[in-house]
């Protein structure tokens, strides 16, 4: 860097590196603007949330809770977070909510910190059966050094084997019974598992990361009324906010509330990304207004998309249960551990359709699975309905069954997507105030 005419002028080398990032960022934006984002763990945020996330809050700190801060300058953020806690309690119908977590996984780490000690027993869904990596030794469970046992799995129903799970819980008497998945097609029969857990003094923790928006919108299940003591989740999947997490509880126990708050800060967060927390608060306000319609439309689209894929000739899992009751659809594209899912995902990306390969029951190799996990929440967010789901399924067929050149299909995908560029289920531009951020 050199000083020119009283101001600092960057070197061309440094500037070129920054421009690489700008170019790649713009390219990524174009990929999703012109293509079909169908990764089940992603979503897009509203104009108002975008504006909040890009505000001055991005570099600020507010350690602690509203009114009990370790920094000055937090009065305005106290207003934001206090409103957010109130909204989260309302949206999720719960007496306790912490909105500070920076992700669903961080929420899980915090919950396990509050609920367990190293060496304690825990039961969860195996990653091979769709459990999230944070439920495994490789993730949060291992970080807390918990003694993990996994539930027997009912492959036909794509859920824990209920009798087997209850027997396991009664036998082991785990400190925590963790429910929830990364591959999450159907509501878990939670009451039976919770009853068994509470019989032996276990705490029931429900990871609703993928389905949190469906739960809040009344379109999936209601874990905190069905026996879950704690619910964690992400704020950027079917709940359409910025990157972040939630930590919720059905308990009225203020001692537990204090443990949960302390597990977030100072437990797993120092700075907890105030711009994202503020974005969550706006997303909560939007969800309070539009969330029920959004959640129901997501599930309707997912069901129709699954049926359309099956009609095109795809092997869609859980046919006996009408494929799905969530935002997700699972498809098998070859033999177990064949890598067919990875190949399918690559071909689809070449056609402007962004998906992710995924292990299916029987697969053992995460990088060469046989399946795809598909989500419709982002397509729903831009206004697509059941008719569009049929057209999307036809794009899949053209690439993966009929073998058309993906570059040809990509042009048709872009033309199709050009009609869906407005983000729905949120406040519109005319409703944004003029305050400079």
Output the domain CATH number for residue 249: 3.40.640.10
Q: What is the CA radius of gyration of the chain?
A: 22
The total of other beta-carbon atoms located within 10 Å of residue 11's CB is: 10
Backbone angles phi, psi at 179, to 5 degrees: -120, 150
Residues 188 and 236 grouped into a single domain: yes
Report the pLDDT value the prediction gives residue 7, as an integer from 0 to 100.
60
Residues 81 and 142 grouped into a single domain: yes
Residues 186 and 235 grouped into a single domain: yes
**Per-residue model confidence as pLDDT tens digits over 161-206:** 999 999 999 999 999 999 999 999 999 999 999 999 999 999 999 9
Domain with residue 317: its CATH number is 3.90.1150.10
**Per-residue model confidence as pLDDT tens digits over 44-81:** 999 999 999 999 999 999 999 999 999 999 999 999 99
Report the pLDDT value the prediction gives residue 14, as an integer from 0 to 100.
84
Report the pLDDT value the prediction gives residue 10, as an integer from 0 to 100.
76
Over range 384-408, report the average pLDDT: 98
Smallest CA-to-CA distance from 295 within 356, 357, 362, 377 is with 377
- What does the alpha-carbon distance between residue 252 and residue 91 come to, in Å, rounded to a whole number? 17
3-state secondary structure of 19: helix
Tell whether 381 is covered by a domain: yes
- What does the alpha-carbon distance between residue 421 and residue 197 come to, in Å, rounded to a whole number? 47
In the predicted structure, residue 4 carries a pLDDT above the cut 60: no
Percent of the chain clearing pLDDT 90 (strictly above) = 91
CB-count exposure of residue 2 (10 Å: 0-12, 13-18, 19+): exposed
- What does the alpha-carbon distance between residue 393 and residue 345 come to, in Å, rounded to a whole number? 14
Q: Are strands 121-124 and 176-179 parallel, antiparallel or unpaired?
A: parallel
Over range 300-312, report the average pLDDT: 98
Residues 300 and 203 grouped into a single domain: no
Residues 174 and 126 grouped into a single domain: yes
Q: Is-contact 251 240, C-beta < 8 A? A: no
Residues 276 and 321 grouped into a single domain: no
Q: Are strands 121-124 and 147-150 parallel, antiparallel or unpaired?
A: parallel
Tokens of 96: 């306790």
Report the pLDDT value the prediction gives residue 327, as an integer from 0 to 100.
98
Question: How far out from the chain centre does Cα 144 lie?
Answer: 22
In the predicted structure, residue 430 carries a pLDDT above the cut 80: no
**Per-residue model confidence as pLDDT tens digits over 264-301:** 999 999 989 999 999 999 999 999 999 999 999 999 99
Per the listing, tokens 């997303």 go with: 283
Tell whether 336 is covered by a domain: yes
How many domains is the chain built from? 2
Smallest CA-to-CA distance from 226 within 245, 211, 204 is with 204
In the predicted structure, residue 128 carries a pLDDT above the cut 90: no
DSSP letters, 386-425, are HHHHHHHHHHHHHHHTS---HHHHHHHHHHHHTT--S--S
DSSP letters, 71-123, are SSS-HHHHHHHHHHHHHHHHHTT-SEEE---SSHHHHHHHHHHHH--TT-EEE
- What does the alpha-carbon distance between residue 403 and residue 424 come to, in Å, rounded to a whole number? 34
Averaged pLDDT of the chain? 95
In the predicted structure, residue 358 carries a pLDDT above the cut 60: yes
Residues 188 and 277 grouped into a single domain: yes
Residues 380 and 305 grouped into a single domain: yes
Q: Which residue range(s) make up the domain with 185?
A: 49-287
- What does the alpha-carbon distance between residue 45 and residue 43 come to, in Å, rounded to a whole number? 7
Report the pLDDT value the prediction gives residue 6, as an integer from 0 to 100.
56
**Per-residue model confidence as pLDDT tens digits over 335-344:** 999 999 999 9
Residues 179 and 264 grouped into a single domain: yes
Tell whether 180 is covered by a domain: yes
Residues 167 and 246 grouped into a single domain: yes
């Amino acid at each position: 860097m050199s000083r020119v005419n009283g101001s600092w002028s960057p070197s061309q080398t440094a500037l070129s590196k920054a421009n690489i990032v700008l170019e790649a960022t713009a390219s990524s934006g174009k990929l999703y603007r012109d293509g079909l984002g169908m990764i089940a763990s992603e979503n897009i945020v509203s104009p108002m949330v975008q504006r909040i996330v890009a505000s001055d809050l991005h570099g600020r700190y507010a350690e602690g809770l509203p009114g009990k801060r370790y920094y000055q300058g937090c009065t305005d953020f106290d207003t934001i977070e206090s409103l957010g806690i109130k909204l989260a309690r309302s949206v999720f119908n719960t007496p306790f909510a912490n909105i500070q977590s920076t992700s669903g996984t961080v929420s899980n780490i915090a919950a396990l910190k509050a609920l367990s000690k190293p060496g304690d027993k825990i039961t969860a869904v195996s990653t091979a059966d769709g459990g999230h990596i944070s439920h495994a030794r490789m993730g949060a469970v291992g970080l807390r050094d918990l003694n993990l046992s996994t539930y027997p799995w009912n492959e036909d129903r794509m859920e824990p084997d209920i009798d087997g799970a209850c027997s396991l819980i009664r036998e082991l008497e785990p400190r925590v019974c963790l429910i929830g998945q990364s591959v999450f097609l159907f509501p878990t029969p939670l009451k039976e598992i919770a009853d068994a857990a509470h019989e032996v003094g276990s705490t029931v923790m429900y990871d609703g990361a993928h389905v949190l928006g469906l739960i809040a919108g009344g379109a999936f299940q209601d874990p905190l009324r069905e026996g879950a003591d704690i619910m964690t989740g992400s704020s950027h999947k079917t709940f359409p906010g910025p990157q972040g997490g939630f930590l919720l509880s059905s308990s009225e126990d203020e001692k537990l509330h204090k443990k949960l708050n302390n597990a977030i800060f100072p437990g797993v967060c120092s700075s907890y990304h105030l711009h994202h927390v503020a974005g969550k608060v706006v997303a909560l306000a939007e969800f309070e207004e539009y969330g029920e319609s959004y959640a129901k439309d997501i599930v309707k689209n997912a069901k129709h998309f699954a049926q359309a894929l099956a009609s095109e000739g795809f092997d869609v899992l859980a046919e006996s249960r009408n494929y799905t009751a969530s935002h997700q659809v699972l498809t098998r594209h070859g033999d177990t551990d064949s890598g067919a899912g990875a190949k399918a995902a690559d071909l689809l990306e070449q056609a402007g359709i962004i998906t992710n390969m995924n292990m299916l029951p029987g697969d053992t190799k995460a990088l060469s699975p046989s399946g795809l996990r598909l989500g419709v929440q982002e397509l729903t967010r831009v206004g697509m309905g059941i008719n569009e789901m049929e057209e999307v399924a036809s794009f899949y067929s053209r690439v993966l069954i009929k073998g058309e050149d993906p570059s040809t299909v990509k042009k048709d995908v872009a033309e199709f997507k050009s009609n869906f560029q407005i983000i729905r289920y949120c406040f519109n531009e005319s409703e944004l105030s003029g305050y400079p951020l």
